Each structure stands twice: as structure tokens, then as C-alpha cells.
Amino acid sequence: QVLLVESGGDVVQPGKSLRLSCAASGFTFSNSGMHWVRQAPGKGLEWVAVIWYDGSTKHYADSVKGRFIISRDNSENMLYLQMNSLRVEDTAVYYCARGGGATYDMDVWGLGTTVTVSS
């Protein structure tokens, strides 16, 4: 079955960096766009970034543009999110999600990994 497993969440200080990973299985990873979506404690869903199936195009939310970098390794079925200059407001559960057939849709979600930014 389709499975997405995130890892890399941690407690870090403001200004530090962290890299999240998402291991994909059960589908042809190289055919699917992939997203990162986050959820702050007790809040709703906020889209973070998307990368197209071949890595050729990336889009970011304004709140993370210039600080976060989405990337992928299709040979390893892995999605990444490099998070730099972390802020307290980046504290959230980060989910990776598979894109459906329409570029900005999401049809399968991972379990999530928790990032806490605190001094």
C-alpha cells in the first residue's frame, strides 16, 4: 500500500537549521509531485511547499520562502525539506503528502513529524 513516513523532527533553537525526510513506498515516486504541509499546535493546515515529479519546479509559501528548500531523490524514493533560520512560529507537525493528478492536490498523507522551535 502507499506509505509516507516522515522523520527528522526535533527541538531546535531559533535561528538553527533542520532537515526533514519523507520515505515513500508503494507507488511510483518519480511520477508524483510531492508536498509539505504543516499544522501548528491546535491550528489548521498550512501548505508549505511543492516539488514537481521530476524536481524541475518548486513553489513555496510566502512564510517560508528564502528559508526552506524542498528537494527529492527519485532514485531513493525520498523527499526532503531543508529548514533554515527557524523561527518560533515554525513549530508544527510537518506532513509530507503525495500530489494527485492536478499539481496542487494531495491524495495521500504521511503520519507527520514534530518540529519544535524554542529557546
Chain residues that interact with another protein, rule: CB under 8 A: 35, 37, 44-47, 50, 59, 61-62, 95, 97, 100, 102-112
Q: Do residues 112 and 94 make contact, with C-beta atoms less than 8 angstroms apart?
A: yes
Cell of 72: 527529492
> Toward another protein, which CB reaches closer, 18 or 110?
110
> Toward another protein, which CB reaches closer, 17 or 25?
25
Instruction: State the Cα angle at 51 between 104 and 55, rounded to 5°.
Output: 135
> Toward another protein, which CB reaches closer, 23 or 45?
45
How many Cα atoms sit within 13 Å of 22 on the Cβ side?
29
> Toward another protein, which CB reaches closer, 5 or 78?
5
Distance of CA 100 to the CA centre of its chain: 16
**In the complex, what is the shortest distance from the CB of residue 118 to another protein, in angstroms, rounded to a whole number?**
22
Residue type, position 37, single letter? V
**In the complex, what is the shortest distance from the CB of residue 18 to another protein, in angstroms, rounded to a whole number?**
20
- Taking the C-alpha atoms of residue 55 and residue 59, their distance in angstroms, rounded to an integer, is 11
**In the complex, what is the shortest distance from the CB of residue 32 to another protein, in angstroms, rounded to a whole number?**
14
